[in-house]
Amino acid sequence: MGEIRELVLKYALINAYTHRGKANPKAVIGKVLGENPELRKRAKEIIPPLVNEVVNEVNSLSLEEQEAKLREIYPEFFEEKNEKKEEKKGLPPPLPKAERGKVVTRFAPNPPDGAFHLGNARAAILSHEYARMYDGKFILRFDDTDPKVKRPEPIFYEWIKEDLEWLGFRIDEIHIASDRLEIYYDYAEKLIKMGKAYVCTCEPEKFRELRDKGGIACPPQGGAS
């Protein structure tokens, strides 16, 4: 049990150190089970209560105390971190004209797609890294407004959140697009009234033709202003 606690403490300190002093229990569990898959057999019995206990202990420390403790039990972390900084020169590249504290990024997965694949993870990581780089905000937006194609199930939303937490993300806001349709309609009406948009009544084939020619607006007989 002592060895397991040391493993949990290591990852709780790492997670806290990299996320402004607050460790996330689910992220810590993912790292612990990743390093020691054998613990999966006893995960429900031992891991959650132990992780919660250790995370509370770590989160009660100051940032300086967390760093000192991490250097004491796992100094290799700081060596590896320096090596990774050298490997990641210029990645991700700075954002032109970005201001610290004002950068907002979002990741918009389609819930019916279920668990992450590498492409999802790459897009999410880039968005999250830019938000953290500029002390900005990272938004998880569930893009679930087309149920005719794929009907979303509640479990899909949980899978995506769990995957992001396992990757060590800090999600600042969560939005579900299907819950915000009234907001979208309101802004659509405002744009139409301002003359910035119109309702297109073109046939699909005509619409695609005009779009492919460079986004030409529908002729008067094909649209209403």
Residues 10 and 79 in one domain: yes
CATH number for position 138: 3.40.50.620
How many domains does the chain contain in total?
A: 3
Residues in the chain: 225
- Residue 94 forms part of a structural domain: no
Query: Is residue 118 very low, low, confident or very high in pLDDT (cuts 50, 70, 90)?
Result: confident
Q: Can you tell me the distance from the alpha carbon of 47 to that of 54, in angstroms, rounded to the nearest whole number? A: 10
Q: Can you tell me the distance from the alpha carbon of 148 to that of 66, in angstroms, rounded to the nearest whole number? A: 49
pLDDT digit string, tens, across residues 15-53: 998 888 999 988 888 888 888 887 777 767 666 788 899
Residues 146 and 216 in one domain: no
Query: Percentage of the chain with pLDDT > 70?
Result: 86
- Residue 74 forms part of a structural domain: yes
Single-letter code of the amino acid located at 103: V
To the question of pTM greater than 0.85 for the whole model, the response is: no
Query: Is residue 222 very low, low, confident or very high in pLDDT (cuts 50, 70, 90)?
Result: very low
- Residue 97 forms part of a structural domain: no
- pLDDT (average), residues 86-93: 57
Local structure of residue 95 (DSSP, 8 states): P
Residues 169 and 186 in one domain: no
Domain ranges, residue 140: 104-178
Residues 202 and 165 in one domain: no
